Amino acid sequence: MIVDNAVYVEGRRTADPESLDETFEVLRARHGFAWIGLYRPSPEELDAVTREFDLPALAVEDALAGHQRAKMEKYGTATFVALRPARYLDAEERVEFGEVHLFLGADFLISVRHAESPDLAQVRRRMESDPSLLAKGPLAALYAVLDQVVDEYFPVVAGVENDIDEIEDQLFNGDQEVSRRIYELSREVMALQRAVHPLVDVLENLRDSLNGADEELRDDFRDVHDHVLRITDRVDSFRQLLQNALMTHATLVSQDQNNEIKKISSWAAILFTPTLVGTIYGMNFEYMPELHWVLGYPFAMGLMLALGFALYTVFKRKGWL
């Protein structure tokens, strides 16, 4: 559905058309630009916008289908931008991804949102409070949306970083569920990489659209580009940290298994010695040393205990028990 539809002239909201036909008429009469916000539109609603603004069919298909990676594509005078916003759900300790599609033209910006985040109404209010920036046209509105999406990545990065810190604590506490959590968090980090990394190319490709644009606006886009580079560096470091955590966990598990094997082997050796002595003295040969000796039985029992105690002492000193 259409959640907001406005025409801006010199950075000020001058009309709130009730229909797309009226938007087009006001746009031609006042020579401003239209900013239309759609939230999970039906094919019929998006088709109506497509007819009025002559949007590229392939881009419209992408906007309807969803599940797009962040990208920018040029179609004649129109530009299509797909973004993957994200937010960190603290209660569930996971990252939720959304999708925003933007159609940019010389006199319009159309946003198609498929998730709760980002709050584009807040973005619009912020831009309307700065008419000098909004007066720079659809590119300024595009900058505002990009800036909001990128800014919302920072809390996500902080949340994931906190999860990694908790995993590092779990590693040395013997938590058996840590491997599952490392795996699940690795998947989220990879999804975050797929959302953020393409934005570098998107912002670099937008430079052509900024030719002749206001110097301040170019600086704003450059600032967003710098933020994206910082985020990609941190997300990449998360991937390496999780790989190291998984290797450390495997090493710790191997050490625990080795310790268990040492304990089992040690007790097996200790139990084997009295069994060996008892087996030798139980062979029932007629002529055996100490067989008819009065102290033969105490001697055999003492030998068993002595050998067992000696092996126990050796293994204890080596840290096997």
Which of 130, 151, 180 is the last residue in one of the domains? 130
- Give the helix/strand (H/E) hosting 292: none
Identify whether 244 is part of a domain. no
> Is 90 exceeded by the pLDDT of residue 45?
no
Which of 130, 151, 169 is the last residue in one of the domains? 130
Q: Give the max Cα distance, the chain.
A: 125
> Is 70 exceeded by the pLDDT of residue 5?
yes
Tell me the per-residue pLDDT of 50-72, one tens digit each, with 9 for 90 and over: 888 888 888 888 888 777 788 99
Tell me the per-residue pLDDT of 189-207, one tens digit each, with 9 for 90 and over: 999 999 999 999 998 888 7
Which of 110, 130, 150 is the last residue in one of the domains? 130
- The burial class, CB within 10 Å (0-12 / 13-18 / 19+), for 42 is exposed
**Domain of 280: which CATH number?**
1.20.58.340
Is the entire prediction scored with pTM above 0.85? no
* Domain extent for 94: 1-130
Q: How many domains in the chain?
A: 2
Q: Specify the residue for token string 């795996």.
A: 183
Identify whether 156 is part of a domain. no
Identify whether 218 is part of a domain. no
Identify whether 270 is part of a domain. yes
> Is 70 exceeded by the pLDDT of residue 214?
yes
Strand, helix or coil for residue 85: coil
Identify whether 171 is part of a domain. no
**Domain of 116: which CATH number?**
3.30.460.20
Long-range contacts of 166-172 (CB under 8 A, 24+ apart): 167/242, 167/245, 168/245, 171/245, 171/248, 171/249, 171/252, 172/252
pLDDT confidence tier of residue 184, bands split at 50, 70 and 90: confident
